[in-house]
């Protein structure tokens, strides 16, 4: 039996060494141990199989706060009747818009070239995971479209110089410029996607008990 045991041990070792590396969900690249460390609880920069990394979490929450301020300042500015107040709000709106654009590009680069998102919990249906992925992609597209239309509005209306220099005076009626329609539709689309994203996260957290918030940095 000793010779048989030796042959079985050798075959097992060969099979283990030849087995493929784990692959990231949604991507085809093998993941090294420096990317996924299932036992690590010290918040590494890259994500693990159970939790997003420090970089992803930081980008996520800074983007969330900036988006909230972006939407609020935009609607407040559009409803303001005082030129000075409108200019001040639009100045904040532009700064937050540029910040969100930079963060979104950084996030796309981070996920595309550096990190891999954790796989969905085993309790999550496949259609649900695919829908969540599609919503994230759509949010990136909408944010980029809003940013592009916002930049176009500033250029076409000549408002950029006025806002950056602090020159007093009434701002033009942005509704008269074609990109304003895309900007407005994009804002409402982003609000709808964000509310859906929050609702889904709370459903997975409170109903399915998947510790969704812990995966993105809230709790353990």
CA nearest to 112, candidates 196, 26, 203, 220 = 26
Alpha-carbon gap, residue 209 to 101, rounded angstroms: 33
> Which residues are within 8 A (CB) of 98 and not within 5 positions of it... i.e. 6 or more apart?
none
Alpha-carbon gap, residue 150 to 143, rounded angstroms: 10
Domains and CATH numbers, the chain: 50-215 (1.20.950.20)
Please say whether the dihedral angle defined by the alpha carbons of residues 93, 98, 103 and 108, taken in this order, is positive or negative: positive
* Band of pLDDT at residue 33, cut at 50, 70 and 90: very low
pTM of the model: 0.75
30 pairs with which residues across the strands? 23
* Band of pLDDT at residue 208, cut at 50, 70 and 90: confident
CA nearest to 64, candidates 207, 184, 190 = 190
The owner of tokens 């969540």 is 132
* Band of pLDDT at residue 220, cut at 50, 70 and 90: low
Alpha-carbon gap, residue 93 to 46, rounded angstroms: 31
* Band of pLDDT at residue 70, cut at 50, 70 and 90: very high
More confident residue, 14 or 126: 126
Alpha-carbon gap, residue 151 to 196, rounded angstroms: 27
pLDDT digits (tens, 9 = 90+) for 55-68: 999 999 999 999 99
Q: What's phi and psi for 30, nearest 5 deg?
A: -65, 150
DSSP run (H or E) holding 194 = helix 179-206
Q: What does the H/E/C string look like for 133-163?
A: HHHHHHHHHHHHHHHHHHHHHHHHHCHHHHH
Quote the pLDDT of residue 43: 58
Region 133-157 average pLDDT: 95
Q: Alpha carbon 140 to chain centroid distance?
A: 7
């Amino acid at each position: 039996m000793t010779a048989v045991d030796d042959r079985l041990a050798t075959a097992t070792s060969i099979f283990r060494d030849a087995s493929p590396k784990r692959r990231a969900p949604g991507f085809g690249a093998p993941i090294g141990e420096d990317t996924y460390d299932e036992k690590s609880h010290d918040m590494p920069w890259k994500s693990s199989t159970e939790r997003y990394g420090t970089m992803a979490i930081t980008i996520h929450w800074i983007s969330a706060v900036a988006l909230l301020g972006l939407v609020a300042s935009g609607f407040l500015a559009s409803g303001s009747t005082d030129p000075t107040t409108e200019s001040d709000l639009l100045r904040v709106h532009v700064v937050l818009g540029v910040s969100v654009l930079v963060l979104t590009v950084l996030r796309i680069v981070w996920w595309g070239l550096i990190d891999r998102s954790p796989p969905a919990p085993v309790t999550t249906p496949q259609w649900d995971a695919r829908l969540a992925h599609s919503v994230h992609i759509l949010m990136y597209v909408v944010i980029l479209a809003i940013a592009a239309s916002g930049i176009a509005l500033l250029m076409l209306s000549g408002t950029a110089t006025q806002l950056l220099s602090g020159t007093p005076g009434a701002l033009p009626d942005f509704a008269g410029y074609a990109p304003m329609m895309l900007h407005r539709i994009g804002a409402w689309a982003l609000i709808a996607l964000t509310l859906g994203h929050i609702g889904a996260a709370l459903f997975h957290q409170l109903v399915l008990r998947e510790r969704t918030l812990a995966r993105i940095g809230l709790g353990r």
